Homo-oligomer: A and B are copies of this chain.
């Protein structure tokens, strides 16, 4: 297998692009493509201050690496969720993240959920009606809240996450299987700033998971290999498995599914007129972030429910 560019030994074959690249050309290709997506979807420019949400995994660390290589001003945000899972998941992922930032002299903000809110995510979940079975819903609400709070309080103009194509296709697949038109049509590489919620972008949304993993490996970025211990058996992993089967039968199927959706959306295929968003948003009296409820937002209620005052 030869590199499509230099004829050297190819390290990765990307059947969906009819492209195979050697290590060096692959490590060039990823930033080139990322830059192309950033421009195509008008994610940000070199005058933006970017906050990258980093988990210590391959996607977010690779994204941070690529953004720095491309010369963007990007600081990191690590949220310590307090998840152990028998192998100190949070502690390990924090170490990989801190090591990455320290080696490159990058600025990293760390939020410790237990210190700031009195309980770790698993503890918050245990005391909330949302998390009786799995803490994933509680974790999602908390991460969104904290990312928005940091981006707003520290004046970042855009929040970047490491979601890859497999992540995006799985979310789209889930919403499509039940034709949830409102969340379906809101999905995309960019979520505009709205009602005080940060502008959010996903520069890696067109890379397959194996491409971001290959980037981290070939670039020598140490990252936490294990999935979050609570992810096992989750619906999104189930959808990813189904999409992987589809991809095996038809290379590129996932990319087509996601890109054709974006094209259809752009061309005006979906009308949300009949599916009004929830009632207007108003600032939560607890934290100031927008909420569709009359009182406290989900996050503040969740923290309040476990009788811990919001920070």
Residues of A near any B CB (own CB < 8 A):
176-179, 181, 238, 242, 245-246, 249, 253, 256-257, 260-261, 263-264, 267-275
CB atoms of B246 and A177 under 8 A apart? yes
Contacts A246-B242, A249-B238 hold; do A179 and B264 have CB atoms under 8 A apart? yes
23 A-B pairs in the complex with CB atoms less than 8 angstroms apart: A177-B253, A177-B256, A177-B257, A178-B256, A178-B260, A179-B257, A179-B263, A179-B264, A179-B269, A181-B267, A181-B269, A238-B249, A242-B242, A242-B246, A245-B245, A267-B275, A268-B271, A268-B274, A269-B272, A269-B274, A270-B270, A270-B271, A271-B271
CB distance from A182 to the nearest CB of B (A): 10
Q: Which residue of B lies closest to A258 (CB)?
A: B179
Bound: A260/B272 CA distance, A: 15
Q: Which residue of B lies closest to A181 (CB)?
A: B269
CB distance from A178 to the nearest CB of B (A): 5
Bound: A242/B249 CA distance, A: 11
Bound: A273/B270 CA distance, A: 10
Number of copies: 2
CB distance from A10 to the nearest CB of B (A): 29
Residues of B within 8 Å of A245, CB to CB, are 242, 245
Residues of B within 8 Å of A273, CB to CB, are 268
Residues of B within 8 Å of A249, CB to CB, are 238
Residues of B within 8 Å of A256, CB to CB, are 177-178
Residues of B within 8 Å of A271, CB to CB, are 268-271
Residues of B within 8 Å of A274, CB to CB, are 267-269
**Which of A238, A257, A264 is packed against the most chain B CB atoms within 10 Å?**
A264
Our pick among B176, B242, B261, B269 for the contact of A275 (Cβ within 8 Å) is: B269
CB distance from A277 to the nearest CB of B (A): 14
Residues of B within 8 Å of A270, CB to CB, are 269-271
Our pick among B181, B257, B260, B268 for the contact of A264 (Cβ within 8 Å) is: B181
Bound: A268/B275 CA distance, A: 9
Known: A179-B261, A242-B242, A268-B273. 8 other contacts (CB 8 A): A176-B176, A177-B253, A177-B257, A179-B264, A179-B269, A181-B267, A269-B274, A270-B270
Q: Which residue of B lies closest to A254 (CB)?
A: B177
Bound: A257/B173 CA distance, A: 11
Residues of B within 8 Å of A246, CB to CB, are 177, 242
Residues of B within 8 Å of A260, CB to CB, are 178-179
Residues of B within 8 Å of A238, CB to CB, are 249
Residues of B within 8 Å of A178, CB to CB, are 256-257, 260
Q: Which residue of B lies closest to A267 (CB)?
A: B274
CB distance from A131 to the nearest CB of B (A): 21
Q: Which residue of B lies closest to A272 (CB)?
A: B269
CB distance from A34 to the nearest CB of B (A): 24
Residues of B within 8 Å of A267, CB to CB, are 181, 274-275
**Which of A177, A242, A267, A273 is packed against the most chain B CB atoms within 10 Å?**
A177
